Amino acid sequence: MSTRKILNGKGKFALVTGAAGGIGQPLTRRLLDAGFHVLMLDINADGLDAARQKLGGATTGIVCDLTDSASVAAAAATVQAMTRRVDVIVNNAGLIKPGPFLSLQEQDIDLQVQINLLGPLRVLHHFLPAVPAGGSVVNIVSMAGILPLADSTVYTAGKFGLRGFSSSLSLEVRSRGIRVSSIFPSGVDTPMLRMEAQSGGSPLNFVSDPLSAEQVADLAIRAVREGRLEYYLPYGDGVLSRIFGCIPWILPRLLPIFLKKGIVGHKRYLAKIGAAPSDGGTKASQ
């Protein structure tokens, strides 16, 4: 008989950012299946409507621009009119503009920092007061929050920052009985990765075969259920990334090996999706 704790969201609210995106939809599906009323935040109004229609169930769609403090405040006001408590918050929205640092425009830099770091901070600054004892915060980070990636410098900076914020916040709110978890997946087969694969993203995303969005959603649910500080997917990649983080000088020496493997994986992935490399483009998991 399994002793795994069953997640019971009956009568509870969960909030998901980037809810209409590749990971957001299966994550919302799992929260609905657990009984939660899901507050779906996304900047894409049409995508949000389509996702809600597809998923069905008890959802509330809220169009929200995470780069705009007023928009996040308005979303919080909408939620506060519905409920005084939000039991689960999942910061899922993310965005990348790959390419050498000096090739980026200033707006590319600003937007990545806004979405990947400041957005989650804004969401939690407004919604954390509504999280009760026993509630959960889950930040979907990236393996780039542990392992530096050339040609994804600003994305990496935002994810490193989000990891540090999550660890620090967990120390602040543990006395309130709130658990903060971070998830570090490697490349995930979403529209964001497909666009990145065709426009200059790091080959290190393809050292392992890309994960499915469903795998990440399952791990997020596990994090809500268990509340550990950090989760890695796949676990082996997380071990290697943490080793490189502790001994950063070793990475340049081993990088050619991983790049060679990643280039092969990148070509295999492009063949799988029937695509070829192209130039430029910003990718958002909205």
Read out DSSP for 94-154?
-EE--S-GGGS-HHHHHHHHIIIIIHHHHHHHHHGGGPPTT-EEEEE--GGGTS--TT-HH
Per-residue CA distances from 101 to 105, 157, 193 (Å): 9, 11, 19
For residue 203, being part of any structural domain is answered with: no
For residue 243, being part of any structural domain is answered with: yes
pLDDT of residue 236: 78
Rounded-to-integer distance, Cα 35 and Cα 248, Å: 44
* Strands 59-63 vs 230-233: parallel, antiparallel or unpaired: unpaired
For residue 269, being part of any structural domain is answered with: no
Rounded-to-integer distance, Cα 97 and Cα 152, Å: 7
For residue 268, being part of any structural domain is answered with: no
42 three-state secondary structure: strand
Residue showing tokens 């790091």: 202
Tokens of 224: 């809500």
Per-residue CA distances from 215 to 1, 210, 222 (Å): 24, 10, 11
For residue 285, being part of any structural domain is answered with: no
For residue 280, being part of any structural domain is answered with: no
Residues composing the chain: 286
pLDDT of residue 265: 78
Per-residue tens of pLDDT for the chain, all 286 residues: 344 678 999 999 999 999 999 999 999 999 999 999 999 999 999 999 999 999 999 999 999 999 999 999 999 999 999 999 999 999 999 999 988 999 999 999 999 999 999 999 999 999 999 999 999 999 999 999 998 888 889 999 999 999 999 999 999 999 999 999 999 998 888 777 777 777 766 777 777 778 899 999 999 999 999 999 999 998 877 787 788 777 878 777 877 787 787 788 778 878 887 876 654 444 444 3
Under 8 Å between Cβ of 47 and 20:
yes
Rounded-to-integer distance, Cα 6 and Cα 15, Å: 19
| Helix 45-55, helix 24-33: angle, nearest 10 | 40
* Strands 13-17 vs 59-63: parallel, antiparallel or unpaired: unpaired
Neighbour-count burial of 271, counting CB atoms closer than 10 A to its CB (0-12 exposed, 13-18 middle, 19+ buried)? exposed
pLDDT of residue 268: 82
As annotated, the active-site residues are 155
For residue 272, being part of any structural domain is answered with: no
For residue 70, being part of any structural domain is answered with: yes
Helices (H), the chain: 24-33, 45-55, 69-80, 106-113, 119-127, 153-173, 191-197, 213-226, 235-246, 251-273
Report the candidate in 244, 215, 248 with the shortest Cα–Cα distance to residue 232. Answer: 215
Could you read off the pLDDT of 206-251 as tens digits, one per residue? 777 788 999 999 999 999 999 999 999 988 777 877 887 778 787 7
Question: Which CATH number is 232's domain given?
Answer: 3.40.50.720
pTM of the model: 0.87
Per-residue CA distances from 184 to 122, 141, 245 (Å): 21, 5, 14
pLDDT of residue 153: 94
Where in the sequence is the domain holding 28, given as residue range(s)?
13-195+208-247
Domain count, the chain: 1
pLDDT of residue 276: 66
DSSP code of residue 234:
S
Neighbour-count burial of 8, counting CB atoms closer than 10 A to its CB (0-12 exposed, 13-18 middle, 19+ buried)? exposed
